[in-house]
Amino acid sequence: MSLLRVENVTKNFGSLTAVSEVSMKVEAGELMAVIGPNGAGKTTFFNLISGFQTPSSGRIIFDDEDVTRLLPARRVWRGMTRTFQITEVFPELTVRENLQIAVEVASGFRLRLWQSRDAAAKVTARVDELLDMSGLSGKAGRLVGELAHGDQRATEIMMSIALKPRLLLLDEPTAGMGDQETYDITQLIRKLHRDQELSIVLIEHDMRVVFHLADRIMVLAEGAMLAEGTPHEIAANEAVQAAYLGKAAA
């Protein structure tokens, strides 16, 4: 059974159709990339999957459960987390504090007023582990708002990992990054995908990243699915080339 099944979802905003009858299947452990020209509806599609918006029609089945109308926070508890196009972190707190909050919430400590030494030690250990994985250990004490864009993004991704998700949605993780930062983030995502037994769905514009990471690719154009398949198949697909070349030339 697929981990995530998106069945014919549509999203209308009045007379404007942002997403039109799109279906997608993601298996456990798979890394799926969603690409397409600007305005193709990719972020809206993500919003529907993660619960930020509700589809006008269609269903979203996560791990055999119909989550179409479930609130975002609830989906997090079911194992689905996401990052945003504009990095969403806690800017005036340190990297360590950002991760600490994520770990505490993941451990069910939201309402805890007091922690035992043991519990606190476990949290710290986990935070250190996350810092290690992402290479942020050296910057743990710095305010996230003051870090370089790439490090902020890495922090955001690690916060999502702290929640031990089974499905991670990444919305344009390398947006606005230079070559070196893009490389670093790509390596991080690859490592996480391998080590954490995680399914990932990724929106990306940078084709190098897509072809480097993706098991399968889905192409959206003007709200509808244009093509779907392995990276090889997509690269050879004429309709996809037309959509990109057509839009890129203009």
Partner 1 sequence: MIDRLYWKYAADALIWLLLLTMPFWLNWVGGYTQLGTQIVVMALAAMALNFLLGYTGVLSFGHAAYFGLGVYGAGLTIKYLIPSTLTGMAVGVLTAVVAAAIIGLLIVHLRGIYFAMVTIAFGQVFYFVAYRWNNVTGGDDGLSNWNRMPIDFGFARLDILHSPVAFYYFVLFFFVVSVAIMAALLRSPFGRTLLAIRENERRARFLGIPVDRHIWLSWLISCTFVGLAGTLYAFLNNFADPHTLYWEQSGVFVIMAVLGGMRSFWGPLIGAAIFVALQDYVSTMTQNWMSFIGLFFVLIVLFFPRGVLGVIRRKTSS
- Binding footprint of partner 1 on the chain (CB under 8 A): 50, 72-73, 76-77, 81-82, 84, 88-93, 97, 100-102, 104-106, 109-115, 141, 156, 159, 163
Count CB atoms within 10 A of the CB of residue 241: 12
Query: What secondary structure does DSSP assign to 149-217, as a single string?
Result: HHHHHHHHHHHHHHT--SEEEEESTTTT--HHHHHHHHHHHHHHHHHTT-EEEEE-S-HHHHHHH-SEE
**Comparison of 166 and 216: residue with beta carbon closer to partner 1:** 166
Minimum distance of partner 1 from residue 5's CB (angstroms): 22
**Comparison of 34 and 101: residue with beta carbon closer to partner 1:** 101
d(CA 172, CA 236): 23
- Helical segments of the chain, H only: 42-50, 72-78, 95-106, 117-134, 149-162, 179-195, 207-213, 231-236, 238-249
**Comparison of 88 and 233: residue with beta carbon closer to partner 1:** 88
Minimum distance of partner 1 from residue 112's CB (angstroms): 4
> Exposed (0-12), middle (13-18) or buried (19+): which is 98, by Cβ within 10 Å?
buried
**Comparison of 100 and 182: residue with beta carbon closer to partner 1:** 100
**Comparison of 107 and 196: residue with beta carbon closer to partner 1:** 107
User: What number of CA atoms fall less than 13 Å from residue 19's CA on the CB side?
Assistant: 26
Minimum distance of partner 1 from residue 207's CB (angstroms): 28
Minimum distance of partner 1 from residue 127's CB (angstroms): 12
Minimum distance of partner 1 from residue 84's CB (angstroms): 7
